[in-house]
A and B are shown apart, each in its own frame.
Chain A
Amino acid sequence: MASSLVVTCPECGSYNSARASVCRQCGAVLKAERAQRPRMQKKLLRRTDFLAAARANQANTRRLVLILVAVACVLGYLIGWNIQIYAQAPAHTYGQPAPGDWSPWFFSAWGAIGAAILAGVSLVWTFVAFKAGDRIVMRMTGARQVGPDEAPMLNNVVEEMAIAAGLAKPKVYIIDTPALNAFATGMSPGRASIAVTQGLLDTLNREELQGVIGHEMGHVVNWDIRYATAVTVLVGLIALVSDGVLRSFYYGGGRRRDSRGGGVVAILLLVFAVLAPLVAKLVQMAISRQREFLADATSVRLTRNAQGLISALEKLETSAQPFDGANRATQHLFIVNPFRNFSEKASALMATHPPLSRRIERLRNLGAKGY
């Protein structure tokens, strides 16, 4: 993409046309001098248009998932090509005429097989994750399911938000930790689960809890939970394969015989194996950050009350309790980043969550609209 046609949003990292003054994804100001004009001020108030944001969100996610699959395919192709050269197999093995016939030079039958295998594996893996993903995540975070007898208020609040969204009531889980956090998972709006920590239940009042549950219900309504699972699986697969490639270079590097440009291809693979997990990670972060703003907005649409979520986020901001139940694979599921120190020091590009101050500011903006 040419840099003159496209600008990157400083807040959420999504691409915008160079003429746009407001990010189409998250509504952030792209041109500071234009934000001063009165017409722009009105536009900024209107910027949380739920339906348009949800549509852009879905389209963007589909594009990003495609990018991830493409990265996996290229990785598979390079691996196959390398194995072919390493094994000194003829360039065209399946019914091709002469072994010396390299046309075009970059075609490799083994590479095509490698790409197909990795694409197939990512599909199967995604399918498995769609079937069992919520249970795996719940076990990873150590959450236990609670019924209406054990936690009546939490169950009531979840049911209220489900009614407001017009969905079936999700399953309710509690994580026994003093940290303040919450997340949603599940494969479809009809079969979702919402988990909150014990610390959150003890600290927040009913109104604030409603804001937080509304945020999680927003992830459910917007199908974020499913895309998050798919993205997690793809990022994990790319990281795993790249790691394997780098290890094989480390251990098998000395035995490499150089023939017919094999060195160039090997370097190509090496570079790609280093870059692919980075690209995948960036894609994952971008998806995650866009969704947090949208879920906040959906929460306000469901509760018609921005104040509850604002004061909940303020309490989450001041709480310093670390949460051990989260790891790198599940961190983007939570309402606030469980690795507090990491998110504050890392650059905006690598964070899974937008800064809390930005989110609170957005909610205040929504409140000014009369919600």
Chain B
Amino acid sequence: MTVSATIVLRGRGVVGGRAEGEALVTREAIPGWGGVNPQQGVITETHHELRGKSFKDKVLVFRGAKGSSGWSAMYHTARLAGAAPRALVFNEMTTKVALGAVVMRVPSVTDLDRDPLDLIETGDWVMVDGDLGIVEIQKRT
């Protein structure tokens, strides 16, 4: 097994706690109500590049949140259904993603010193520390 170097990004913690998992990455904003099936944890928006993909138990790495004001309620529902992501890493702060991260109660980090979308690919192993505002990336080999 090849051990790759760990990349460390520093930013601002949004929701505290520590979690790790496999990354699911999109440069697109993530939809809420009407673009996601919260009980299965699947993106359903017609034109979305992650359409049909599940974020359940993943570390979701994304640009930001978009669409309906039902964003937080959808991801809150995903938490109740056991289909929420394990952690969030995102670039653009909005009320939708802030409230969504709070009620999902998952470690979340933003304002990173380098663009996570340039450095993290789907399948990489990512650790998110929301207390320290740190993201550690182990590239898939």
A-B complex is real:
no
Give the interface of A toward B (CB within 8 A): none
Give the interface of B toward A (CB within 8 A): none
